[in-house]
Structure 1
């Protein structure tokens, strides 16, 4: 019975924001689902649970998706069966303001260079990022794991990493986070996933060494970080994502990155947007088969505010529709 009770606790059938279940009896469907959970063999672990995109490698996410399938399937049953909405639905993509005039990247690069003349703010090692990453399976609804990560370095080479399960779009509401074993489960907003202090370490190799603030040297730096001789726009966006997961760029580094993006070509100016933290930005879009990536930048300084990756084609085998957000990152100082 211990295993079943543990599974039931992880499934959390009555979350904090659930409707009025109180102490009343279960209805017919609830009794049937509870009986299945307690008396029938658990579903076989899914072999295809996986987080999408490349951010999990950068963040070192330790989600055990095969084990997670059992808990998420039980949660789906208890909340109403396979036809019920996912516990945490994929966020919808950001919408460009209808009356917004797109700002060409060349013009934004000029603004960023002008704003960087005094060198403030300066470059800082470490990052503060809020992210939403979609996990998919072929036998359970997709789930979105929102988290906030803060990495800070000290002068002696030590650094700390604090990871919190939270979704600023819905403050105070439960979110999908990790339990003590690294499995996805519904947790209270603000739950600390990990709080780690690392011993001193140094490296002269990108992205650990300081990025230059010259566009040409920055390209070489990012190519070394990505282990490639040349970068197209898709690779450059990957490299920028990696860079921002290690450094909080200063004004000069942001200006160099905007100029590098403008010189590379392939980003279409789309217009103004309000990002998921309520900040006004300019959106620039790059599309490949099945996927759209939208880079959101400060309209005055060129600082990167966010990067959104969206499905443009449905993947029904994973319960993903065109327009679902695969992953989103929002960086702050």
Structure 2
């Protein structure tokens, strides 16, 4: 069995650690998904030659995905979702809203207008709780004897696309569902940090995916508490300081401490802004500086007015980048009233060898609540 995961340097890891007790809990969860799905496969297909249980490296790849909280391998490649009777030809990805494929127009004027609105937003003491809902594509494929692929550009040690030896497209079968993780991170008065993560409700591009998922016993962590703990003071390390500059040039240098490529690659700048928003709500002045910084980039376009996945009106701002080795579009969804960030998306804009995803496809999104 081989594994392919869309896990690039563009998917960031959380700044906090991964305690051993949580590692064991998540491993048990993933192993139970593997076992229960495999047993359902055998019960429903006695006439077929049973497939082998996934190897430990595959389980570790699923664990790495959970570790990064990018969300989760919800089935580990045991079910034939590509079988003709299911009518499913590709891994499940979120339905395109419409803005993801728009051509777009230069965004400088729109961004400066939004920056003015953000700057006029009354400053507050800051929200101590960050609430997000996030999903990222992770695929584990059950395939034939495939040669190991080349290591992807920007590959990390947790399993870059192609690094584990992609399965042959002719023999690959993939089972996925869209199960976001709902996360609350609260900074408490004593300096400790509370983190709670719960598996969200599965979503499907169409009924064929839902039927295939139901046939396999509905595997996955829907409703499961994936993490619920309080980290002592000093154990949760913020990626960026809470006291941020408001000048665009200084903001760029601050973001570049974590994402050095943000100085020249606008996709990396979008990623850094996403990382920042994952751990704090910027003040109106800081948000205005971020928008002014984006306005200085000639490759940033506006995709127009849209509605995000929570039903909120938004202005979609985007840039295209291939610096990761993949053709990606990075999107920020901005509140048209106050200029603050409502969401973030990554879209695969072109087909990639050995990855059973039909482009264009959303491969990562975050909603900020």
State the TM-score, normalized to the length of structure 1. 0.70
Larger Rg: 1
Contact between 2:110 and 2:302, CA under 8 Å: does it hold in 1?
Answer: no
> Any conservation in 2 of the 1:123–1:251 contact (CA below 8 Å)?
no
Q: 1:86 to 1:154 in 2, by over 3 A?
A: farther
Instruction: Summarize the Cα distance change of 1:314–1:203 in structure 2 as closer, same or farther, 3 Å threshold.
Output: closer
Paired with 1:12 and 1:165, the residues of 2 have a C-alpha distance of 23
Matching residue of 1:329 = 366
Aligned residues of 1:296 and 1:305 also touching (Cα < 8 A) = yes
5 Å-filtered alignment, 1:180-191, equals 185-188=219-222, 190-191=223-224
Q: How many pairs were matched up?
A: 291
Is 1:133–1:328's contact at 8 Å kept on the other side of the alignment?
yes
Deviation at 1:141, TM superposition (A): 1.8
Look up the match of 1:9: 36
**Residue 33 of structure 1 corresponds to which residue in structure 2?**
45
Which of 257, 262, 267 lines up with 2:295 in the alignment?
262
Please tell me whether the aligned partners of residues 126 and 248 of structure 1 are also in contact (alpha carbons under 8 angstroms). Answer: no
Match of 2:192 in 1: 158
Q: How much has 1:244 moved relative to structure 2?
A: 1.1
CA apart distance, 1:312: 1.4
Q: Show the counterpart of 1:24.
A: none
Gaps of 5+ in 2: 1-30, 142-166, 205-209, 211-217
| Inter-partner Cα distance in structure 2 for 1:208 and 1:31 | 54
Sort the Cα spacing of 1:321 and 1:47 in 2 relative to 1 into closer, same or farther, 3 A. farther
In structure 2, the residue matched to 1:60 is 68
Task: Name 1:239's counterpart in structure 2.
Answer: 272
User: 1 or 2, which has the higher strand percentage?
Assistant: 1
Aligned-residue CA RMSD (Å): 4.3
Query: What SS class does the counterpart of residue 112 from structure 1 fall into?
Result: helix
TM-score in terms of structure 2 length: 0.64
Q: Give deviations 1:56-107, integer Å, cap 9, x for gaps.
A: 69x7339897xx8xx6333x24x784763389821123213999x9794434
Does the CA-based 8 Å contact 2:90-2:356 persist in structure 1?
Answer: no
1 or 2 for the larger relative contact order (CA 8 Å, sep ≥6)? 2
* Aligned counterpart in structure 2 of residue 45 of structure 1, from 55, 61, 65: 55
Deviations, residues 208-250 of structure 1 (Å, cap 9, x unaligned): 4432333232122111232468343112111111111111223
> Structure 1 pair 308/118, CA: closer, same or farther in 2 (3 Å)?
closer
1:126/1:150 contact within 8 Å kept? yes
Please report how far the alpha carbon of residue 44 of structure 1 lies from its aligned counterpart in structure 2 after TM superposition. 5.2
Distance 1:152 1:267, change over 3 A: same
Structure 2: distance between partners of 1:31 and 1:331: 41
Indicate the larger mover: 287-296 or 261-270: 287-296
Residues 210, 93 of structure 1: alpha-carbon distance in 2 compared, 3 angstrom cutoff: farther
Conserved in 2, the CA contact under 8 Å of 1:206 and 1:224?
A: no
Note the C-alpha offset of 1:30. 8.0
Q: Is 1:223 the equivalent of 2:256?
A: yes
Structure-1 separation of matches of 2:56 and 2:84:
15
Written as runs of structure 1 = structure 2, the 5 A alignment for 1:167-316 is 167=201, 185-188=219-222, 190-201=223-234, 206-227=239-260, 230-289=263-322, 290-315=327-352
- Give, in angstroms, the shift of residue 163 of structure 1: 0.7
Cα distance in 2 for partners of 1:5, 1:281 equals 40
In the alignment, the residues of structure 1 paired with residue 316 and residue 33 of structure 2 have an alpha-carbon distance, to the nearest angstrom, of 45
Deviation per CA, 1:37-66, whole angstroms, max 9, x where unpaired? 8xx461553967968xxx969x7339897x
- Judge conservation of contact 1:206–1:221 (CA < 8 Å) in 2: no
Q: Any stretches of 5+ residues in structure 1 without a counterpart?
A: 14-28, 176-183
The alpha carbon displacement at 1:108 in A equals 3.5
- Give yes or no for the alignment of 1:92 onto 2:95: yes
